[in-house]
A and B are shown apart, each in its own frame.
Chain A
């Protein structure tokens, strides 16, 4: 009963390197999200996917791409990492409408770009 699983937990990249953050859920939720969390900034939405096959930009999409591989998996890709992308990244899932249902978060990926 894992809920939302993110891999890796930690990552250090050099400027210009690329990587993909993975997120998988076993909650049968339609919606999936990627947030980043920086000190003093709260959680900011990068991209989201309302359902399998659809993705859309959030508040801070620049420098990122996403893939909704299937209902369970939603990945976030950094094509050319920059120090400004040093952050903690959270994947979350939710039912189709959050009006009366919560978001469920994974444990996060701590990324450092040097």
Chain B
């Protein structure tokens, strides 16, 4: 069952912040985040593991609440280059990596 992402779309002005949420009905072992620009392949952003700490690099960070089976991606002081569709991929410790992706959140950052 696909995780649910919210919001479906968001429009920001450059410099504004955004939060993208990913929620699953299954117990999760890990959550991946990817960004995809139009016409391109998804590109890895970060992985969060059960029991692990919040991750981040530059002005993009994420958290993972394993009890609530939720993850959130935080984009701080957004840049034009942040535009794209963000996907979370969840893994439920099936014994093998089988990511189930959410339907995506479209982010548009305008000048």
Q: Which residues of A contact B (CB under 8 A)?
A: 31, 35, 40-45, 48, 50, 58-59, 90, 94, 96-108
Residues of B within 8 A of A35 (CB): 101
A56 to chain B, nearest CB (A): 8
Residues of A within 8 A of B89 (CB): 43, 103
Residues of A within 8 A of B41 (CB): 90, 105-108
Task: Name 27 A/B residue pairs within 8 A (Cβ), A-sorted.
Answer: A31-B97, A35-B101, A40-B103, A41-B103, A42-B103, A43-B87, A43-B89, A45-B100, A48-B98, A50-B96, A58-B98, A97-B97, A98-B91, A98-B99, A99-B29, A99-B49, A99-B91, A99-B97, A100-B49, A102-B32, A103-B32, A103-B34, A103-B42, A103-B89, A104-B44, A105-B41, A107-B41
Interface residues on B, range: 20 to 34
Determine whether the beta carbon of B42 is less than 8 Å from that of A43.
yes
Residue among A59, A101, A104 making CB contact with B100, cutoff 8 Å: A59
Determine whether the beta carbon of A42 is less than 8 Å from that of B99.
no
Q: Which chain A residue has the least Cβ–Cβ distance from B104?
A: A42
Q: Tell me the complex Cα distance, A113–B30, Å.
A: 36
A11 to chain B, nearest CB (A): 16
Chain B residues numbered 31-62 whose CB sits less than 8 Å from any CB in chain A: 32, 34, 40-44, 47, 49
Q: Which chain B residue has the least Cβ–Cβ distance from A6?
A: B41
Q: Tell me the complex Cα distance, A106–B100, Å.
A: 18
Determine whether the beta carbon of A43 is less than 8 Å from that of B101.
yes
Residues of B within 8 A of A96 (CB): 97
Of the candidates B29, B87, B96, the one having the most CB atoms from chain A within 10 angstroms of its own CB is B96
Residues of B within 8 A of A106 (CB): 41
The answer, yes or no, to whether B6 is at the interface (CB within 8 Å) is no
Q: Tell me the complex Cα distance, A42–B48, Å.
A: 20
Residues of A within 8 A of B79 (CB): none
Determine whether the beta carbon of B103 is less than 8 Å from that of A103.
no
Chain B residues numbered 61-111 whose CB sits less than 8 Å from any CB in chain A: 87, 89, 91, 96-104
